[in-house]
Amino acid sequence: MTIQTDKMLGLCFVGDHAATERWLDGHKGLLIGKDRNGNWEAMYQSASIDDPIQRAPTASPTPLLERIDSEYLDTLLAPVPPKAIARLGRLGPLATPVDIESASSQIVDPCRRSLVYDVLCLLLSGDVAAAESRIDLERGQAKAFDELTSSEVFEVRDGDTVRRLRLGSREYEQWLNTFSRTSQPLEWLLFLHPEQASVVQADFSGPAQLSGVSGSGKTCVAIHRALRLAETNPRSRVLIVTLNRALAGLIKSLVDAAAPAEVVRAIEVKSFFQLCQEKLGRFEPGNRRLYSDVSWKLDEHIDEVYREYYRCWANNDAAQIMLPIHHSLIARGVCAETYIREEFDWINPSTRLT
């Protein structure tokens, strides 16, 4: 689930269909904005009186109006009629969104009624920060992202901090000039967060597994750890094995860019398929030609052979048996030809090894 504007994409939730439906029910009116201190925050605002946000109550013995700072409470209730305030003040721990909607119905101004409902509903769920941000949003001390102009703020991640640079300012121009002169693409791929660095420097008594989602920096950690092992043990050999050849090529480039020649020579980077080729050639030297990327009979590269087979060229229709799989993968946004080829790469060496 995302929130998108012409200037921003906010990543909000990941889950299956049922989980997503539950998340949507609990986060109506969600928007992303900046609070009074300039920090990015999740904020909530009802689309209208007829389409209010909904929140589940949390256990608390404190009446709703006593859960918020007096400064915010004064702002919230200043134009509200005394009878309505008295009724709102009676909303206690057992209140529901329906009770809040009923108690605020005496407020004539629809904007004020919606504000009061939102704030009390958020307080009901225990989210005091969101309730205060809702009031700040109303009085202009907080802004939703779609209200910010592109000239107001420009953000760039710089190491372990976020620097805010006003477009057109001297600091902005200086940063652009410095970046263009000193930064290379590979430097960004090799950047280590302090938490990642602690894993690189750690010593383990046996095998260790590092897990994380895509983009969390596992490859970066593996590269730096390989460099550390090669530097601290000059006579050792370090092997990095990855799934596919393209990634192996990238990792090799990163290793070459990050270390002096004597360290680079101690590190080998191979794809799993390449490693299998070498091992098979070692154990069956007489059959080495069977594991080459180029066929020994016709001198054709395996990529050419596969493409001809998969696309049913040269009067060869054997691959038509895979049409149901092809259509299924295409329907899910997967490049079927490449995906199946990679699966063959895995099946072939693993089958021979067993």
Same domain assignment for residues 118 and 209: no
Single-letter code of the amino acid located at 267: I
Top-confidence range, 36-40, 91-95, 112-116, 182-186: 112-116
* Same domain (yes/no): 139, 205: no
Q: Same domain, yes or no, for 30 and 91?
A: yes
- Clarify whether residues 251 and 336 are in a common domain: no
This prediction's pTM: 0.44
pLDDT of 165 above 80: no
Per residue in 209-233, pLDDT tens? 888 877 778 888 899 999 998 888 8
pLDDT value at 56 more than 80: no
Surface-to-core class of residue 230, CB atoms within 10 Å of its CB (0-12 exposed, 13-18 middle, 19+ buried): buried
Asked, for residue 35, whether it belongs to a domain, the answer is yes
Q: What pLDDT sits at residue 349?
A: 46
Last residue in a domain, options 230, 250, 278: 278
pLDDT band for position 178 (cuts 50, 70, 90): low
Confidence label for 269 from pLDDT (cuts 50, 70 and 90): very high
Within this chain, do residues 137 and 43 fall inside the same structural domain, yes or no?
Answer: yes
Long-range contacts of 138-144 (CB under 8 A, 24+ apart): 139/75, 141/36, 142/33, 142/34, 142/35, 142/36, 142/41, 142/43, 143/33, 143/34, 144/31, 144/32, 144/33, 144/43, 144/45
Q: What is the pLDDT of residue 179?
A: 53
Is residue 170 located within the same domain as residue 217? no
| Residue 189 lies inside a defined structural domain of this protein | no
Mean pLDDT of the chain: 78
**How many residues are present in the chain?**
354
Most confident of 1-5, 57-61, 316-320: 316-320
Q: Report the pLDDT value the prediction gives residue 278, as an integer from 0 to 100.
A: 84
Res. 318: pLDDT tops 80 = yes
Residue 108 located in a structural domain = yes
- Give the helix ranges, DSSP H, for the chain: 17-26, 70-77, 82-89, 97-103, 110-124, 128-138, 170-182, 185-189, 194-201, 218-232, 245-258, 261-264, 272-283, 302-310, 323-331, 336-353
Is residue 205, in this structure, part of any structural domain at all?
yes
Flag whether pLDDT at 148 surpasses 50: yes
pLDDT tens per residue, range 326-350: 888 888 888 888 888 877 766 654 4
pLDDT of amino acid 150 = 55
pLDDT recorded at residue 149 = 60
Q: Is the pLDDT of residue 238 over 70?
A: yes
Share above pLDDT 70 across residues of the chain, in percent, rounded to a whole number: 80
Q: Which of 13-17, 166-170, 312-316 has the lowest average pLDDT?
A: 166-170
Residues 142 and 111 in one domain: yes
Q: Which residue has the higher pLDDT, 209 or 152?
A: 209
DSSP structural state of residue 298: T
* Cα–Cα dist 342/273, whole Å: 10
Residue 172 and residue 221 share a domain = no
pLDDT of 315 above 80: no
Residues 71 and 138 in one domain: yes
Do the domain assignments include residue 100? Answer: yes
**What is d(CA 128, CA 43) in angstroms, rounded to the nearest whole number?**
11
Distance CA 26, CA 124 (A): 13
For residue 248, the tally of other CB atoms under 10 A from its CB is 20
Q: Each residue of 71-80: b (16+ CB within 10 Å) or e? A: ebeebbbeeb
**Higher pLDDT, residue 174 or 156:** 174
Does any domain span residue 117? yes
Is residue 351 over pLDDT 60? no
pLDDT of 191 strictly over 60: yes
Q: What is the pLDDT of residue 240?
A: 92
For residue 82, the number of C-alpha atoms closer than 13 Å in the C-beta half-sphere is: 0
Residue 118 lies in a domain: yes
Q: Please give the structure tokens belonging to residue 160.
A: 């372990």
User: Is residue 322 packed enough to be buried (19+ CB in 10 Å), middle (13-18) or exposed (0-12)?
Assistant: middle
Give the range of the structural domain holding residue 214, as residue numbers without chain letter.
194-278
Query: Do residue 123 and residue 14 come from a single domain?
Result: yes
pLDDT digits (tens, 9 = 90+) for 118-132: 998 888 888 888 889
Shared domain for 132 and 171, answered yes or no, is no
Q: Is the pLDDT of residue 176 over 60?
A: no
Q: Are residues 140 and 202 in the same domain?
A: no
Q: Is residue 286 included in any domain, yes or no?
A: no
Does pLDDT of 100 surpass 50?
yes
Query: How many independent structural domains does the chain possess?
Result: 4
